[in-house]
Structure 1
Amino acid sequence: MTAGSGLSRQSLRAAVESSCAIQVSREAAAAFLSDELDHWLDPSVPYDELDPLVLGRLVTHEVRWVGKHFLEHDRLARLAAIRERYGGRDPSLDAFLGCVLDKHDGHFWNRTYLCLPVLEVMLDEHELLPSSLAALLAADIVRHELCAAHRLKEVSALSRPDPRTLRTRVRHSFRFMTSHLGAESDELLAAIARDPEADLPALLLRLTDLPLAHVGEWLELTVQPVSTVHDEYFFMRVLQAHEMSFAGMCWRLRDACAAVRADDPAEAVRLLGEVVTFMDRNATLFRLVATMRPEAFHTFREFTDGASAIQSEQYKRFETLCGRPPETRLASPAFENVPSVQAALDEGHDTMAAAYRDAVAHDRHSAEVATIGALLQALEASHRRWKSTHVTLATRMLGDARGSGYTSGVGYLSEWVDHRLFWGLPEIAVG
């Protein structure tokens, strides 16, 4: 949506407050945010007259114009003052400000770069499945790309992609959406195609059957790129979808372990089948990343030092739910970067490998237990393919560059490509 030049300042402000998809000048966006910061910091204004979503949208407009890395110090200091004054009032705003202020606070890392705390509040408050949220993230990639094309933005390495790349990107995004939402994804794609300049909340509200319409308001605020490079937006959405996918796999693995312990192997088989399916679907996300132009990647990557996928807590939780990693793995940067996962390991928790080993020893439900073993082998094989694809993609994108998590980059990934999830179960080995 483009804000018309004939709108009064008050009408334009109202439009910008209501949507992150409105096109507005850099000067107007800056002025509106300044006014809103004044409003929040005015001690005479009661809290019930303040709207966290409005503040979030105006901050997002500013970030989309300049990139989070380039926000002015005064802006950051005033946002920090708002957080100090009103912290604890609104979980979504608390999480949002923590992500926007991460560089200002000196705590910039993968979780805040990807706004995962905001997504996690959405999961908790709306009882969403992580897989459903992952599908919406893919839908937003389609919306973002078609919106840029509809607005005829310049085609260049740092702006929108050429038509062939666009088609590939949209096709893979739609495939991932469909794998999670089924036929409902057709309605969502049709809504985007009818109005490519609409924002995500407006699109979701038009859907008749999808029970996700109420999550869109904060969802559109969960991309706070460090730069203005076009491809960074979709790159962040892909990484967020990966995190949500592994989050969904984690709770299924926990429930599968519990089902085996409860002598319900049929339920464990069902859940493990879903885990394998999710792992297979993750390959589509890497195909999406492969559409990113290396020039774009290296341009915004200059400002992402300190944030790396090596810090992914959900992936490490997935790994530890499969089986306790060997000590060499636990001593590697992969686990040194996730102290919360390390702490959970120290407290002890069940693993799929241990539950399966005990089920085999008890010699009951032999057919179902054999199926569980076959599914673990399928998961191992899918995970190995996923890692190999990651290395191939990183080699093309990174070359000899070091990783943004201060590792050796491709060399580090290659070192662990043969690491097995079920290394303690020789019978699960794959060729």
Structure 2
Amino acid sequence: MTTALSPAPPTGPVPDATPAPGVDGPSLAAARPDRADLDPGHALGELARWRREDAAADRFPYRAVLGHYRAVGKNAVGEELLTALRAVEPHGPAGAVDPAAQLLADWLPQVVDGQQGDYDSYLGTPVYTSLTAAGAGPDQVITALLAEVVATEAAVLAGNPAGLPRTRAALRALAAAAGIPALIPGESEDLVAACAEAVAVARQAVPAGVLRAVELTLTPTTRGHDEQMFIRVIQIFEAVFAAVGRAVAGATEAVAAGRADLARDLLAEAVRQLAGTSGVFRVLTTMPKDAFAVIRANTDGRSAVQSRSYRGVERSCPTLHLALLESGLPQEELQPVMAELDEAWGAMKRTHWGITMKIIGSVPGTGGTAGAAYLREAAEARLFPALRRAQPAG
């Protein structure tokens, strides 16, 4: 076995002997890896060097670790590297709150879980939770994630034209999220150029800390290109769920304070966030069934049913309605926007169900859920079950 004391592996790309990277194929990192990334000894050696020097969080060898993870897939990472990563103790300057140490502490659960991870370690949820606490807005996070999808798809498009529909869909979603104009060319070469321009513009509007967090939170379990898109899409939805949950919680507090106007604005923002998911769903529909079957087989225990943000929205909305009933505020002040939120949430769930039927049919979903059957049942649940719009007579 290669260890940290072994000679450094040869550098440079491995000769291409795999299928073209892209949709229904390997990722670019797996198809054309650097030799060093294939050898766990390289990452082990960089970790050992980091410890010997000063073990400062801002000097952690993320590149070496992630290079290996993305070249072989997280589920294939050996125990020696996992053990070394589990021994890492993030620290910053004594007596100071160090953002680099916090980032490393948040990121480590994503790479030390081996094959026993959960939904949060699959997505890097702690990293995004800290981003939000530090003031990052959901639009910034979503824009950065979509920019990564567009850049990843464009990078392989020249060698795999099967990616045209996904690249177009991703570029449209990014343009909508970032509020930038984007023409969608029909030819691969022109589309790649349009993607590069849109990604550059979008990233300029996102803080460096958000871009860095997004860069680090991609540790697919497999070598497949499609899983990279899948992870980014789930991260986007988690950002939306968290934003909706915060809006509902804020609206509940506003209602208790007699601020119907503030509550209405917060709920309208939640509706806007949900409306933006339609373009992301279009990206997801480009996943081949075979690709998802591989992901499903490698993500046991990492089901989206574990999403605390999703469950939190469905638990907190009845509380909001009860607060409104007890507040003495006129019901008509908020009921229309509550109904809009209810419909937007239900539409999102119905779309998810339809896509699941297309991609996996009736087989179990990720994490062993009942798949489409579970989603169909969930889609029928209302956010405000006691809220009923007046129905016309006859």
TM-score higher than 0.5: yes
Preserved contact between residue 95 and residue 117 of structure 1 (Cα < 8 Å): yes
TM superposition outliers: structure 1 runs of 4+ over 6 Å: 9-13, 20-24, 195-198
1:73 deviation in Å? 1.6
Partner of 1:241: 236
Deviation at 1:23, TM superposition (A): 9.9
User: How is 1:94-243 mapped onto 2 (pairs within 5 angstroms)?
Assistant: 94-103=105-114, 106=116, 108-125=117-134, 127-150=135-158, 152=159, 155=160, 162=162, 166-183=163-180, 203=200, 207=204, 210-243=205-238
Q: Which amino acid aligns with 1:251?
A: R
Give the partner amino acid of 1:100. V
Residue 21 of structure 1: how far off its partner (Å): 8.4
Shift in Å, 1:238 = 0.4
Query: Alpha carbons of 1:413 and 1:196: their partners in 2 closer, same or farther (altered >3 Å)?
Result: closer
Paired residue secondary structure (1:405): helix
Identity percentage of aligned residues = 27
Quickly say closer, same or farther: Cα 1:420–1:179, change in 2 above 3 A.
same
Q: What is the TM-score normalised by the length of structure 1?
A: 0.73
Unpaired segments ≥5 residues, structure 1? 1-8, 14-19, 156-160, 324-350
Structure 2 unaligned spans of 5+: 1-8, 14-27, 93-97, 184-190
TM-superposed CA distance for 1:170, in Å, is: 3.1
1:245-256 to 2 correspondences below 5 Å: 245-256=240-251
How far is 1:315 from its partner? 0.8
| Alpha-carbon separation, structure 1, partners of 2:278 and 2:57 | 46
Question: How many Å apart are 1:405 and its aligned residue?
Answer: 2.9
CA distance in 1, matches of 2:274, 2:32: 41
1:354 maps to: 322
How far apart are the structure 2 equivalents of 1:382 and 1:65? 39
Contact 2:147 2:202 (8 Å CA) reproduced: no
1:317 is matched with 312
User: 5 Å matches for 1:28-427?
Assistant: 28-29=36-37, 30=39, 32-42=42-52, 45-48=53-56, 51-52=59-60, 55-81=61-87, 83=88, 85-86=89-90, 90-103=101-114, 106=116, 108-125=117-134, 127-150=135-158, 152=159, 155=160, 162=162, 166-183=163-180, 203=200, 207=204, 210-323=205-318, 351-359=319-327, 362=328, 364=329, 366=330, 369-427=331-389
Equivalent AA in structure 2 for residue 92 of structure 1: L
Partner amino acid for 1:321? S
Q: CA deviation at 1:266?
A: 1.7
Would the alpha carbon gap of residues 418 and 49 (structure 1) be closer, same or farther in structure 2, given more than 3 Å must change?
A: closer
User: Within 1, Cα distance between the matches of 2:337 and 2:390?
Assistant: 9
Q: Any conservation in 2 of the 1:204–1:212 contact (CA below 8 Å)?
A: no
* C-alpha separation in 2, matches of 1:404 and 1:180: 27
Tell me the TM-score normalized by structure 2.
0.79
**Which amino acid in the other structure matches residue 357 of structure 2?**
T
Q: Which digits, 9 at most, give the CA deviation of each residue in 1:288-321, with x for residues without a partner?
A: 2111111111122211011011111111111112
Offset, 1:371: 4.4
